[in-house]
């Protein structure tokens, strides 16, 4: 396997830091839901709306930025949107009502939803195809770290103070991350010299990206892969506490163990995707996901060890789908369309997630005792979307690459 250069390791680490902050900001809504809903007197539908508001605004922002995403240095674009994301997160930390929290999530989504697409574009620019499985594993390690470190610490802060505290902590961490990126990351502007960049209007550039049939297939795959997380996460904490019977103060243990295991397995999954190919790893992940989602969403009162075991295996399955899929998607667009492609891809991901959260909010019902009803129906929808995604992934891999070699990463 082709080794990373020192600068590539630095860049991958910085991108993982961003993943950590952005993913934590979204994921923290799930475990805090059991605190936020009674504190702000929110129903399950209102909480689902608050979660989906981030996704819908992120999707709209992605579509609006897609036309000009390839016209700027990706580093500057990243810092601009990350700054707006931190302001939105600060607003979340100051919210005192459903309306103010909803508005804060909308603002956070407008900026935060674009960050993931910029990270993917930078990754595709700096890492050739032979390295992308491993770097996607490292980026997913940022997701895992948000569980290992972020979620338990956030729940501790929320328990020690109140549910606002974790958002303030994310802002403080984000300011440090922004400083490191501003001083250590080199400009990412090699795509500006590619043929066709900047020659067309933003609208036409967007249309040219959408018209490519293989990229349309990639967009559909991303939307389906998103469904699972956005449908299960919003009500996971309430389900675990009230249906499975796990005490609220044990939630940090669940996230800690699951995150540690994911942190270990993510790089291994990435290496496996580089060694044996994306498809075998992806199919294995689909099979594991289907089996564990069926078990997880139908759990009744259970011991802590069983819930943790099911949760760990389920996340291994989810990451075994996401890592090879992301490595494959990174090679779909040409260099001069990577920013636009990833912005649209991220927008559709967020919009699909928003729809999934709303649908889940209308499928499940919270009983007077907090019991989450009809959660198993959500599991069936996730299983169906996983099966369709497996078919689309096969068609995508069979297609011909869109072309365009990745830019050479700086050597230092």
Which CATH number do you get for residue 12? 1.20.1250.20
pLDDT digits (tens, 9 = 90+) for 52-77: 788 778 878 877 776 666 677 888 88
In a domain, 409, yes or no: no
Q: First-to-last CA distance in the chain?
A: 19
Per the prediction, the chain carries an average pLDDT of 80
- H-run or E-run covering 32: helix 29-39
The whole domain housing 219 covers: 8-187+200-397
In a domain, 193, yes or no: no
In a domain, 53, yes or no: yes
For the chain, state the CA radius of gyration.
20
What's the rounded Cα separation, in Å, for the pair 43 and 201?
A: 44
In a domain, 412, yes or no: no
pLDDT digits (tens, 9 = 90+) for 172-214: 989 998 998 898 888 887 766 655 544 555 566 567 666 767 8
In a domain, 195, yes or no: no
pTM: 0.66
Q: Residue range 284-313: average pLDDT?
A: 92
Residue 191 has what pLDDT? 64
Phi, psi of 195 (to 5 degrees): -60, 130
Statement: residue 318 has pLDDT above 80: yes
Residue 91 has what pLDDT? 93
* Residues listed for the chain: 412
In a domain, 410, yes or no: no
Tokens of 364: 């499940």
Q: What angle do CA 13, 17, 23 make, to 5 degrees?
A: 135
Q: Residue range 114-139: average pLDDT?
A: 79
Per-residue confidence at 123, pLDDT binned at 50, 70, 90?
Answer: confident
Q: Which residues, in sequence order, are CB contacts of 200 under 8 Å at separation 6+?
A: 208
In a domain, 88, yes or no: yes
Contact 78, 181 (CB under 8 A): yes
What's the rounded Cα separation, in Å, for the pair 294 and 255?
A: 20
Count of the separate structural domains present in the chain: 1
In a domain, 91, yes or no: yes
């Amino acid at each position: 396997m082709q080794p990373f250069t020192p600068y590539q390791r630095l860049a991958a680490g910085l991108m993982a830091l961003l993943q950590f902050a952005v993913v934590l900001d979204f994921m923290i809504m799930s475990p805090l839901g059991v605190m936020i809903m009674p504190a702000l007197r929110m129903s399950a539908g209102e909480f689902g709306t608050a979660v989906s508001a981030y996704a819908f605004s992120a999707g709209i922002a992605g579509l609006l930025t897609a036309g000009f995403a390839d016209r700027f240095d990706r580093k500057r674009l990243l810092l601009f949107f990350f700054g707006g994301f931190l302001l939105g997160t600060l607003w979340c930390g100051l919210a005192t009502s459903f309306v103010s929290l909803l508005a804060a999530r909308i603002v956070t989504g407008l900026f935060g939803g674009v960050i993931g697409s910029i990270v993917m574009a930078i990754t595709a620019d700096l890492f050739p195809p032979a390295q992308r499985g491993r770097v996607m594993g490292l980026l997913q390690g940022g997701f895992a770290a948000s569980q290992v470190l972020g979620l338990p610490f956030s729940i501790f802060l929320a328990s020690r103070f109140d549910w606002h505290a974790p958002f303030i902590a994310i802002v403080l961490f984000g300011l440090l991350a922004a400083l490191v990126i501003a001083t250590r990351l080199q400009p990412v502007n090699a795509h500006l010299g590619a043929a066709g960049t900047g020659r067309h209007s933003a609208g036409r550039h967007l249309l040219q990206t959408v018209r490519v049939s293989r990229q349309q297939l990639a967009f559909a795959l991303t939307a389906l892969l998103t469904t699972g997380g956005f449908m299960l996460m919003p009500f996971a904490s309430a389900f675990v506490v009230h249906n499975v019977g796990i005490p609220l103060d044990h939630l940090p243990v669940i996230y800690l163990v699951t995150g540690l295991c994911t942190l270990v397995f993510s790089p291994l999954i990435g290496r496996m995707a580089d060694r044996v190919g994306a498809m075998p790893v992806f199919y294995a992940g689909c099979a594991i996901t289907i089996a564990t989602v069926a078990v997880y969403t139908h759990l009744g009162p259970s011991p802590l060890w069983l819930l943790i075991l099911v949760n760990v295996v389920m996340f291994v399955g989810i990451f075994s789908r996401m890592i090879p899929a992301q490595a494959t998607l990174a090679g779909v667009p040409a260099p001069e369309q990577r920013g636009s492609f990833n912005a649209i891809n991220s927008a559709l991901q967020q919009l699909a997630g928003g729809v999934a959260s709303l649908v889940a909010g209308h499928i499940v019902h919270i009983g007077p005792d907090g019991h989450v009803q009809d959660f198993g129906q959500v599991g069936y929808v996730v299983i169906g979307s996983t099966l369709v995604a497996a078919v689309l992934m096969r068609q995508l891999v069979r297609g011909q690459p869109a072309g365009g070699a990745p830019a050479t990463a700086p050597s230092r």
